[in-house]
Amino acid sequence: MRKKHSLELKPIGVIHSPYKNKGNTPYQGHGTEDISEIELFKEFEEGLQDIEGFSYMMVIYWFHKSQGYHLLVGTPWDDIPHGLFTTRSPHRPCPLGLTVVELVARDKNILKVKGLDAIDGTPLLDIKPYIPDVDKRSVVKPGWLEGKLRGKRC
Amino acid sequence: MRKKHSLELKPIGVIHSPYKNKGNTPYQGHGTEDISEIELFKEFEEGLQDIEGFSYMMVIYWFHKSQGYHLLVGTPWDDIPHGLFTTRSPHRPCPLGLTVVELVARDKNILKVKGLDAIDGTPLLDIKPYIPDVDKRSVVKPGWLEGKLRGKRC
């Protein structure tokens, strides 16, 4: 049982967004020009030094409205259910959200970003730089999602 | 203080890798052909249904060897320190690791993957499909890391 013990996290900030509930949240920020604000708590501000040089960041957050999960899930993009770990459903054993976002502007500890699909008030857990050499993969099979996302919103 | 309360996670599996400590771990799996095994605990196996259709996955894990952090950090790729959130240092307020990995094979609840840079025994937190339409960004400024990573290992 050792490997199943609980781990503890504390948020490092909070996300302010135009999305008040899941219903009007775009899938992975896909196809939206909406701006969200990432508020990093003041005590972490120094950790943003040099971030203006990056076009994109990977944001990890806590799906605070998530409750429970199913291992097979239905989605808006297919008629049959698929394995949870082949979807980006917010209902997961570890309710961690992940989105690649565009950095639009920074004002001290506040980052304005485009393409973030988190609900207003979402706890922020981490920010990582998007590094094309390691994060961008060019020849990929997108599984059952092939061709289903273009131009669609959830 | 409400927004700073603790959040609790339980691992969903464990990572078996050739890397016994940080010293021989490749940076984000960059430039390696090494194979690691992701063991998803049996009770979550059904959530892998259809994952064979995806070339790449995004793996989130717990930096279990991480202790403390600094907001400005030195790296092997530059002479000056940079903001923590512009690096992929394992020493972070929320010690969450993230790597895009190639799925090589699956045997029930075990995934063989290429490009994972986690130490042997690392707790697994989540697996998400890599979806080019939302995760791949083509025109990017890679900040202070520009040109520094190619062909190098940490």
**pLDDT(B15) > 80:** yes
Q: Do A83 and B49 touch (CB under 8 A)?
A: yes
Read off the pLDDT band of A4 (50, 70, 90). low
Mean pLDDT taken over chain B: 87
Lookup result for tokens 């690096």: B87
Over the stretch A31-78, which tens digit does the pLDDT of each residue have?
Answer: 678 999 999 999 999 999 999 999 999 999 999 999 999 999 998 888
Read off the pLDDT band of A116 (50, 70, 90). very high
Q: What is the pLDDT of residue A79?
A: 87
**pLDDT(B68) > 90:** yes
**pLDDT(A22) > 60:** yes
CA atoms within 13 A on the CB side of A41: 16
Name the residue facing B85 among A83, A96, A127 (closest C-beta): A127
- Nearest to residue B78, comparing CAs of B12, B15, B154, B144? B144
Q: How far is CA A97 from CA A28, A43, A93, B98, in A?
A: 9, 23, 12, 12
Nearest CA in chain A to B51: A86
**A98 to chain B: which residues are within 8 Å by CB?**
58, 60, 98, 126, 128
Task: State the first-to-last Cα distance of chain B, in angstroms, to the nearest integer.
Answer: 39
pTM, to two decimals: 0.91
Name the residue facing B142 among A10, A123, A132 (closest C-beta): A132
Contacts of residue B85, Cβ cutoff 8 Å, sequence gap at least 6:
A40, A44, A47, A48, A51, A57, A126, A127, A128, A129
Over the stretch B76-110, which tens digit does the pLDDT of each residue have?
Answer: 888 899 999 999 999 999 999 999 999 999 999 99
Rounded CA separation B140/B13 (Å): 33
**pLDDT(B153) > 50:** no
Rounded CA separation A113/A128 (Å): 14
**Which amino acid is it at B108?**
K
How is residue B71 written in tokens? Answer: 């907001």
Rounded CA separation B57/B61 (Å): 13
Of chain B, the percentage scoring pLDDT greater than 70 comes to 90
Distance from CA of B145 to the nearest CA of A (A): 8
**Residue B102: beta bridge partners?**
B56, B114
